[in-house]
C-alpha cells in the first residue's frame, strides 16, 4: 500500500509546476441522442455553461506537453418536453489531463476529464436518473491561438457509472471559448 503514495510523490516532484495559468471557459451546446452512451435522447436540449480551470502541473516529455488542470463547471440545460419547459443545472468538479503534441502549449491539443457532478433534477426529458450525484466524463479537442486564447469542442457524459441501476445517463456536446489569465 506504500507504493501508491510513493508513486504520487515521485510524479509531483518531477513535474514542472505550472505558473498557475487560469482559464474561464464559456460553453454553448446541445443535448445528444441515444447514439453514444446514453439510453434515451435529449437532442432538443440547449446548453450554456461557464467553467473555471487552473493549471497545477506540467510534464514536458518527448511525447509532447502534458498538463493537469483542476476544473469547476456550471452548466444549464433546458428543453421543452411534452409541452412543458424543463431545466437541469449541472455542477462539476474534476481533474483534466490536456496533451499538446508539441513541447509547448500551442496549437492543437486533446483533453479528457473524469470527476463528480451534481444534477439538480433526476428527470430530464425521457431520461430518469437514479441519483442526483453522478460521475462526469468529458473528451475534448481544441486549438490554442498565439495570443493564448483557446477554442475547443467537447463531448460530456453524466451517469452513475453503474453504482445504481438503471444507469441511463445523458450526454451533450459543446463549443467552448477559453479566456486565459
Name every residue whose Cβ is closer than 8 Å to that of residue 12 and which is 6 or more positions away in sequence. Answer: 57
Full residue range of the structural domain in which residue 166 is found: 3-180
Q: Tell me how many domains the chain contains.
A: 1
pTM to 2 decimals? Answer: 0.84
Per residue in 124-134, pLDDT (tens digit) is: 998 888 899 99
Per residue in 146-169, pLDDT (tens digit) is: 888 899 999 999 998 888 778 788
Per residue in 25-46, pLDDT (tens digit) is: 999 999 888 766 666 778 899 9
H or E element in which residue 9 lies = helix 3-14
H or E element in which residue 14 lies = helix 3-14
Confidence label for 3 from pLDDT (cuts 50, 70 and 90): low
Does residue 14 surpass a pLDDT of 50? no
Per residue in 61-91, pLDDT (tens digit) is: 999 999 999 999 999 999 999 999 999 999 9
- Which CATH number characterizes residue 172's domain? 2.40.160.20
Amino acid at each position: 500500500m506504500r507504493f501508491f503514495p510513493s508513486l504520487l510523490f515521485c510524479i509531483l516532484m518531477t513535474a514542472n509546476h505550472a505558473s498557475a495559468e487560469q482559464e474561464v471557459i464559456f460553453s454553448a451546446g446541445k443535448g445528444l441522442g441515444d447514439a453514444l452512451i446514453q439510453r434515451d435522447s435529449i437532442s432538443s436540449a440547449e446548453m450554456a455553461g461557464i467553467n473555471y480551470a487552473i493549471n497545477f502541473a506540467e510534464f514536458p516529455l518527448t511525447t509532447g506537453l502534458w498538463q493537469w488542470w483542476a476544473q469547476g463547471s456550471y452548466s444549464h440545460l433546458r428543453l421543452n418536453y411534452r409541452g412543458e419547459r424543463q431545466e437541469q443545472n449541472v455542477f462539476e468538479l474534476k481533474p483534466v489531463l490536456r496533451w499538446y503534441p508539441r513541447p509547448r502549449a500551442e496549437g492543437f491539443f486533446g483533453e479528457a476529464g473524469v470527476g463528480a457532478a451534481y444534477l439538480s433534477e433526476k428527470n430530464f426529458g425521457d431520461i430518469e436518473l437514479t441519483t442526483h450525484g453522478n460521475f462526469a466524463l468529458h473528451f475534448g479537442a481544441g486549438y490554442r491561438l498565439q495570443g493564448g486564447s483557446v477554442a475547443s469542442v467537447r463531448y460530456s457524459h453524466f451517469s452513475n457509472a453503474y453504482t445504481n441501476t438503471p444507469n441511463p445517463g445523458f450526454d451533450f456536446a459543446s463549443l467552448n471559448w477559453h479566456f486565459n489569465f
